[in-house]
Amino acid sequence: MKAVIKKIGELYSEYKEMILYLFFGGCTTIINTVVYMIFYECLGTANFVSTVIAWVLAVTFAFITNRNFVFASKRTGVKGRIIEFFSFFGCRFMTGILDVCIMVAAVDWMKWNAFIWKIVSNVLVIIINYIASKFFIFQGEH
């Protein structure tokens, strides 16, 4: 049993960043999807507006968790934090546009299932965001 626990600890140490990213990415996806569905399905808010509101809340959560837990940014100066903040939101803005385009095309134009396409869109966005965060946004000073 000790060998199994040790192996799990080693695997966690080796893949910690990816595990945390997937965990917090999953939480971000849940936030994005639940907020979207509340606004779109429950409150009858337009698809575009629901997508934007969900995106803002999800990206704010993602910035906090990515900076503090996933990539454990060591930037302490105001300038470094501002660069991270705008880099993060700039990248997320681009993937947010992708999310909106997917949702408008799939739900408004094609009349496909909003819930399924919200999940599909989030999976694509998470992959792109991980690459951007790892190699461009949180790569300096840590």
Q: How far apart are CA 66 and CA 91, in angstroms?
A: 13
- Global pTM reads 0.76
- The token pair at 27 is 């939480």
pLDDT in tens, 67-126: 889 888 877 788 888 888 899 999 989 998 998 899 999 999 999 999 899 889 988 988
Q: How far apart are CA 95 and CA 65, in angstroms?
A: 18
Mean pLDDT of 125-136: 86
Mean pLDDT of 22-45: 93
Query: pLDDT-based confidence at 12, cuts 50/70/90?
Result: confident
Contacts of 70 (CB under 8 A, 6+ apart): 17, 20, 21, 24, 133, 138
Neighbour count for residue 142 (Cβ, 10 Å): 9
